[in-house]
Amino acid sequence: MGYRSEVVLAVGKELMPHFLGVLAQEPDARTFVFKDSDCLREDYDEEGTLLVSWSDIKWYKETYAPIIAIQHFVDNCDGDKIDGFEEPWEHFRFVRLGEDTDDIEEKGFLHSLDIMVCRSLTF
């Protein structure tokens, strides 16, 4: 079974060269993003933004090389560690929604009004 998450990553055209460079360093990461994702939109906002999502995935940051590579990219962008970008967090958005109600990870601000967690009670 394992613990499952819903994950969305949006990368703006400004950070795409860096993101593709990260994927190139891990052989399976490119396939994980471009073939194994559940949703892939290469022009999410009509301007070259990549949006990718995975549903019902075991997003373990320490065990699967493609996830480690993507998480490294996200953490670097969130931590102001990208050369040539004064505010890299403005050019990406990462949201991971875990099974537990309080397990939410949000980083970056690109399309933060469109890519967000909405929980509701229905009956």
pLDDT in tens, the chain (123 residues): 689 999 999 999 999 999 999 999 998 999 999 999 999 999 998 788 999 999 999 998 888 999 999 999 999 998 876 777 888 999 999 999 999 988 999 999 999 889 999 877 788
CB count, 10 Å around CB of 104? 14
Give the neighbor-by-neighbor strand order of the sheet with 50-57: 39-41, 50-57, 5-11, 92-98, 104-108
The residue ranges of every structural domain in the chain are 5-108
Comparing C-alpha atoms, which of 119, 115, 62 is closest to residue 92? Answer: 115
